[in-house]
Amino acid sequence: MNRRLNFIFSLLVGFSVFFSAVQIQSATNDDKPNQPLPFQLNEELYFEGEFTKAILRGINIGEMKLRITQSPNQTNTEKQTQNYNITGEIVSKGFATKLFGINFHQLIETTVDPTNFRVVKDNKLDEQGKRIRKSETVIDKENGKITWTETNANLVNPTPRVLTIEFKGDVQNLATAFYYLRLQPLKVGQSFTVPIHDSGRVYNVAVKVTQRKQMKTAVGKVWAVRTELDIFGENKLIDGKGSAALWFTDDERKIPVHLQVKNDSGTIDFKLKKMAAKKDVLP
């Protein structure tokens, strides 16, 4: 699997994914959201990934974690509000490591402006076997620029690779996209587009809410809605043909409970296994 497939098969859809035709007020306005956010401070979501193809079914291949906290040191100086930190991590394990020798670890740490849930900057660690890359993305909204810098951590004195693109508006990445979607109404029949940044490029990912049904999940038997994410194809997040869907609980929490990605290589399912959080609700 290539680098982007490894990450998206886990974080998607976005760990750069998804998400400007229709956007709700709480996610886009410069004012603070006028409704309670569905996240709790220090909420942590733990997913396990399974691979299926032909006679291989439900083979454990990795795990993914998402967490949202408040930054103790970083503040939006204009409005004197504490930024949020969103961390997304995915690591190979089990069958992927033992049978195919696939070893990867990706970590994204993102600073988010709470007044409009806009990405300010992020740092990514990408380890694949002995190959190690570190990158930083800085969003300059005032001047309409995104600067992405990647460094080869295997070299003693590496020359950074720097890409700067012009972009006006708000943008998400693969980790924040999970939370950004939770701010949307997510009603069957709804469709919209979300700009996602990854590795120096911005992808406009179309999202459609297509189904509502009851599901057995780690948070109980709940009603959930299915969102379909258009990430496969030319000039999209993943080359080639395939499909991606993300299920959220159909309640005020909108918890992501199941991510499924399909292509010719097989099907990967990341299902929520555990959810932990303190009682402190984000402002």
Q: Report CA dihedral (137, 13, 262, 242) to the nearest 10 degrees.
A: -80
- Share the mean pLDDT of the chain: 83
Q: Quote the tokens at residue 114.
A: 């709470």
Give the pLDDT of residue 16: 30
Residue 98 scores a pLDDT above 80: no
In a domain, 70, yes or no: yes
Q: Which domain holds residue 64?
A: 3-276
Lowest model confidence (mean pLDDT) among 65-74, 108-117, 218-227, 254-263: 65-74
Phi, psi dihedral angles at 54 (to 5 degrees) = 55, -120
Highest mean pLDDT among 42-56, 99-113, 220-234: 220-234
Task: Write out the two tokens for 110.
Answer: 């993102």
Categorize the per-residue pLDDT at 139 as very low, low, confident or very high, splitting at 50, 70 and 90.
very high
- Domain membership of residue 256 (yes or no) is yes
Question: Please, which pLDDT band fits residue 33 given cuts at 50, 70 and 90?
Answer: very low
Q: How far apart are CA 112 and CA 191, in angstroms?
A: 24
Tell me whether residue 63 is in a domain. Answer: yes
Question: pLDDT tens for residues 145-186?
Answer: 999 999 999 999 999 999 999 998 889 999 999 999 999 999
Residue at 167 is within a domain: yes
If you average pLDDT over residues 109-121, what whole number do you get?
91
Paired residues of 212 in beta bridges: 225
Q: Is residue 65 part of a domain?
A: yes
Confidence of residue 104 (pLDDT cuts 50, 70, 90): confident
Asked if residue 7 has pLDDT above 50, the reply is: no
Which of 54-68, 87-101, 124-138, 236-250 is predicted with the least confidence, judged by mean pLDDT?
Answer: 87-101
Look at residue 281 and tell me if it is in a domain.
Answer: no
Average pLDDT value for residue range 119-137 = 94
pLDDT bracket for residue 8 (50, 70, 90)? very low
Is pLDDT at 218 greater than 80 in this prediction? Answer: yes
Residue with tokens 């103790």, as numbered in its chain: 72
Q: How far apart are CA 49 and CA 61, in angstroms?
A: 6
* pLDDT classification of 30: cutoffs 50, 70, 90: very low
- 221 strand-pairing partners: 216
**Which pLDDT does position 101 carry in this prediction?**
65
Lowest mean pLDDT among 70-74, 190-194, 222-226: 70-74
For residues 265 and 262, what is the distance between their CA atoms, to the nearest angstrom? 8
Instruction: Please give, one letter per residue, the 3-state secondary structure of 207-258.
Output: EEEEEEEEEEECCEEEEEEEEEEECECCCCCECCCEEEEEEEECCCCCCEEE
Lowest-pLDDT range of 35-49, 151-165, 249-263: 35-49
pLDDT attached to residue 75: 54
**CB-based contacts of 78, cutoff 8 Å, min separation 6:** none
- Which segments of 17-80 are extended strands (E)? 43-53, 56-76
Sort residue 129 into left (φ over 0), alpha (ψ -120 to 50) or beta: left
Half-sphere exposure of 96 (CA within 13 A, CB side): 24
Give this prediction's pTM. 0.82
Strand 145-152 relative to strand 161-166: parallel, antiparallel, unpaired? antiparallel
CB atoms within 10 A of CB 206: 16
77 found inside a domain: yes
Number of domains, the chain: 1
pLDDT of 161 reads 96
Does any domain span residue 283?
no
